[in-house]
Amino acid sequence: MSQHHFNFSYELFADWNQLSESDQTLVHQALSAMEKAYAPYSNFKVGASVLLETGQVICGSNQENLAFPSGLCAERVALNYVGANFPGVTIDTLCVVARGELMPDEQLLSPCGGCRQVMLESENRQEPPIRVILVNQDQRTMIVHRVKDLLPFGFGK
C-alpha cells in the first residue's frame, strides 16, 4: 500500500469587494443572474457568470423542474451556453454565487459534483486553466486557479 496526498492552493478574501475591479464586475453579473433563478422547490438560488477571452460575459442561473432531475444548475446553464454558442473560445473565469438555506453562511460555497465535472470538461477543451471565483452568502470569497483542483479524480483525461 502507498499513501498519497492531494494539495492545492487557493486565495481567500474576507469580502468580494476586495477583489480586482474586473472580478467585482463578474460577481455583480453573477448576482444579477442569481435574481433570475427559478428555484421554487429548493429556494436555493445560484447565479454564474463566465468571462470569455474576448471580454464577453455569459450568465446563467439555476432552473429547477418539478420532474427532478430535469433542472439545471447555474454553472451548467452558463458553460453549456458557451460550448454551444462560442466553440473554441477560451474561458478565462467562472464566478458562482448562491443564496439559500442549503448552504450555511459559515461553509465555503462549492459547486455540486455534476457541475464540477462539467467545469472540468470545459477546462479540458482548452489550453489554459479556468479560474473559479466562489462567493459565500457572508461575502467571503475563494479563488481557485484551476478547475482540476476542485475535482482531482474527474472523469476523463
Q: List the catalytic residues.
A: 75
DSSP conformation class of 54: T
Quote the Cα angle for 33-121-101, to 5°: 40
- DSSP H helices, 41-135, are 74-85, 113-124
Nearest to 147 by CA among 107, 105, 93: 93
DSSP conformation class of 89: P
CA atoms within 13 A on the CB side of 11: 12
Buried b (16+ CB within 10 A) or exposed e, 35-54: eebebeeeeebbbbbbbeee
